[in-house]
Structure 1
């Protein structure tokens, strides 16, 4: 843990060095919450901790946070969601050129990854998944698309993701899934909540 910063009168911002540490601390606080905890909001390398000032204060909360042992996220139990993918994305050939791999090797490396939903952003249901093979970590497209269809499976930087809705986007599209990762008709609309384990499985189509 790097540092704990005040964030208004009712929250603290924990600054961490990597997404895996955010996930580990998030799980630790979720499973054994400090007194007065109201909400946890994970991001790429920070965790916002909202608290009830009637039950605790920043000093007590900071002491609790700094005393925590952050577990290894790879050892944490959790539900695994299998995402079926048709690896037929428009950017597969470009990703192959930039990574120095064949299309077949890109698909194999993406399928072999063990992913965890680190945090959500950009749009409702858009989960940033950690665990992408380093060879596949490419910068975003220089020219974003004005419309990416729902269900597009994409990579950019150190993350992979599934687009939950049709939207603009600058990630590299490597495939598509028919699995709905965001559905307001479900009791829990967001399928890939932070901490959820994810595996991609090619459909062969």
Structure 2
């Protein structure tokens, strides 16, 4: 696949493959990220994959200037034969739908002419791909939401969304890893910690992972939250 190199700032360059959200393009993004990480150029500080691009952050005093980094990128990016890939993980996230945990579930159900149980069943039946991590630490943008559940954001965002809240915004779904402001439609909550700075890997989810949601009841939520 063709790509363009775009300077992001004096210490970062973006590799842009397309301008759309597409699973095949996202595959190439992650494959390229793996290939660049394996190349191990001194001075490359971080490689951050996004929907259809990735950004390489570097130390100009070590890796060289923009032209030097671009030369390295061209040498290690191939437009075909993208055979490198990371091991795909499937992460199961338990979710208690509705009630105090999903205050917008009823509104989402009315918007689509469904019952709350139908919305929860359809949402938990999906298989979701982590396209990228962004917005806040550990926040995974998930693709794969059924078009039958696509719902506009709230007209008035909440000033605080509880950590673990599962929401829908347009054609995407996601989980708030931290308590932050947000305007997604909240349909449930998970007791899992999606981001913990004290873990070796702070973010539970990584770009390229597959997520499946598992419905649980209030008692199970409380048990998992206690860690028992």
Fold agreement, TM-score > 0.5? yes
1:97 equivalenced with 2:100 (yes/no): no
Kept in 1, the 8 Å contact 2:14–2:53? The answer is no
180-189 or 40-49: bigger deviation: 40-49
- Structure 1 counterpart of 2:95, from 85, 93, 101: 85
Whole-angstrom CA distance in 2 between matches of 1:67 and 1:46: 14
**Aligned residue number for residue 23 of structure 1:** 26
TM-score (norm 2): 0.77
Task: Provide closer, same or farther for how the CA distance between residues 110 and 2 of structure 1 changes in structure 2, counting only shifts above 3 A.
Answer: farther
CA contact (8 A) 2:5 2:70 kept: no
Runs of 4+ aligned structure 1 residues displaced above 6 Å come to none
> What is the DSSP-based 3-state SS (H/G/I as helix, E as strand, rest coil) of the residue aligned with 2:77?
helix
How far, CA to CA, are the matches of 1:69 and 1:113 in structure 2?
30
Contact 2:165 2:175 in 1 (8 A): yes
In our comparison, the structure showing a higher alpha carbon Rg is 2
Judging by fraction of residues, say which structure has more helix: 2
Partner in structure 1 of residue 49 of structure 2: 42
- State the Cα distance separating 1:110 from its structure 2 match: 0.8
Contact kept in structure 2, 1:19 and 1:118, CA below 8 Å: no
Answer whether contact 1:152 1:162 (CA < 8 A) is retained.
yes
Are 1:109 and 2:122 matched, yes or no?
Answer: yes
| Unpaired stretches in structure 2, ≥5 consecutive residues | 219-228
User: Once superposed, what is the RMSD of the aligned Cα atoms?
Assistant: 2.7
CA distance in 2, matches of 1:202, 1:70: 37
- Against the structure 1 CA distance between its residues 122 and 32, is the aligned structure 2 distance closer, same or farther, given a 3 Å change threshold? closer
